[in-house]
Amino acid sequence: MLELPAPAKLNLFLHVTGRRPEGYHELQTCFQLLDYGDRIRLSEESAGRILREGGLPGLPPEQDLAVRAARRLREATGIRRGVRISVEKRIPAGGGLGGGSSDAATVLVGLNRLWSLGLSPDELSAIGLALGADVPVFVHGRSAWAEGVGERLQPIELPERWYLVATPDVAVSTAEIFQAPELTRNTPPITISAFRAGAGRNDCQPVVAKRYPQVAELIERLSEFAPARMTGTGASVFCAFENEDEARRACLALPPRVRAFVARGVNVSPLHRALSEARAAPRG
């Protein structure tokens, strides 16, 4: 049995730089991994079955990205072994924090170990990309600069700041936002140096804020503590602090109806740290 973390992520900025003929958007972003997320338990299951426990209430197993990841991995490798997947959700759904994609990546990486498949991160990422554009960054397990549809990754060292992440009681449809006629789709790409100097915005934020006033209100509220920005296509909003105490004080000042947590940004995924520790642990 393996018990592994599935960390959340933030998009520190998100530019829509173009649109491909088939309709996919060209993006530029910086993924910041967090030391906060879901928990996934994987255990061998007899008769080659793939079973799920927990997960999002009301989400059928066949639509769960964790289950779909296990099935795709079996299809890609021809293996017929089964697994019981237990999902303990902490990442808010529909918040732009990558919860479903991270669960899928943890299943792929974990089953690669549990089933002794020996696939490389690139091979696992190729399987995961069919499930979601954010899956590869979680498979590779590094905070990263990303381009394309989000699949062209370059590891980046980021300051490991503390983040307050808050989610209003509203679900934002990613498809709706990317189909919005008012979405900016021609933002010029920026360099990493320009990003480090403060350049970058979230092109989806004005669209979401106009259509979902709860998000606009939360951005305004968090901006009282530090510059606030939406992650992904929302609905979650974040701001950065230099230390944990400041972040927690700001969190306590939020209204009780707002779901919020404090987490530290990390350059190496908690998933990969957990696997490294498992490899190093003595066997008795």
CATH number for 133: 3.30.230.10
**Among 155, 138, 152, which Cα is nearest to 272's?**
138
Q: Is residue 272 part of a domain?
A: no
pLDDT, mean of residues 254-282:
91
Whether residue 228 is found in the same domain as residue 199: yes
Is residue 68 pLDDT above 60, yes or no?
yes
Q: Is residue 57 part of a domain?
A: yes
Q: Which of 137, 157, 177 is the last residue of a domain?
A: 157
Active-site residue set: 9, 134
Whether residue 151 is found in the same domain as residue 177: no
Q: What is the mean pLDDT of the chain?
A: 95
| pTM, to two decimals | 0.95
Q: Is the peptide bond before 199 cis (omega within 30 degrees of 0)?
A: no
Whether residue 171 is found in the same domain as residue 152: no
Q: Which of 157, 189, 222 is the last residue of a domain?
A: 157
Whether residue 73 is found in the same domain as residue 166: no
User: What pLDDT does 58 receive?
Assistant: 86
Q: Is residue 279 part of a domain?
A: no
Is residue 284 pLDDT above 70, yes or no?
no
Whether residue 117 is found in the same domain as residue 221: no
CATH number for 182: 3.30.70.890
Q: Which domain holds residue 228?
A: 162-266
pLDDT, mean of residues 26-51:
96
Count of domains observed in the chain: 2
Whether residue 153 is found in the same domain as residue 167: no
Whether residue 117 is found in the same domain as residue 174: no
Question: For strand 50-54 and strand 2-19, is the pairing parallel, antiparallel, or unpaired?
Answer: unpaired
Question: For strand 259-266 and strand 162-167, is the pairing parallel, antiparallel, or unpaired?
Answer: antiparallel
Is residue 25 pLDDT above 80, yes or no?
yes
Q: Per mean pLDDT, which range of 136-140, 168-172, 182-186, 200-204 is the poorest?
A: 168-172
User: What pLDDT does 233 receive?
Assistant: 96
Whether residue 111 is found in the same domain as residue 245: no
**Among 22, 6, 124, 114, which Cα is nearest to 72's?**
124
Whether residue 152 is found in the same domain as residue 169: no
Whether residue 104 is found in the same domain as residue 166: no
User: What pLDDT does 22 receive?
Assistant: 86
Q: Is residue 282 part of a domain?
A: no
In angstroms, what CA-CA distances link 67 with 6, 104, 118, 202, 269? 14, 8, 20, 31, 21
Q: How far, rounded to the nearest angstrom, does the alpha carbon of residue 64 sit from its chain's CA centroid?
A: 15
Q: Is residue 278 part of a domain?
A: no
pLDDT, mean of residues 130-153:
95
User: What pLDDT does 267 receive?
Assistant: 98
Question: Which band of pLDDT confidence, cut at 50, 70 and 90, is reported for residue 282?
Answer: low
Whether residue 152 is found in the same domain as residue 186: no
% of the chain residues with pLDDT over 90: 88
Q: Whole-angstrom Cα distance, residue 218 to residue 71?
A: 38
Give the three-state DSSP class for 158: coil
Q: Is residue 49 part of a domain?
A: yes
pLDDT, mean of residues 240-268:
96
Where would I find the beta strands (DSSP E) of the chain? 2-19, 25-45, 50-54, 82-88, 144-148, 152-155, 162-167, 228-230, 237-241, 259-266
Q: What is the pLDDT of residues 82-124, one digit of tens each?
A: 999 999 999 999 899 999 999 999 999 999 999 999 999 999 9
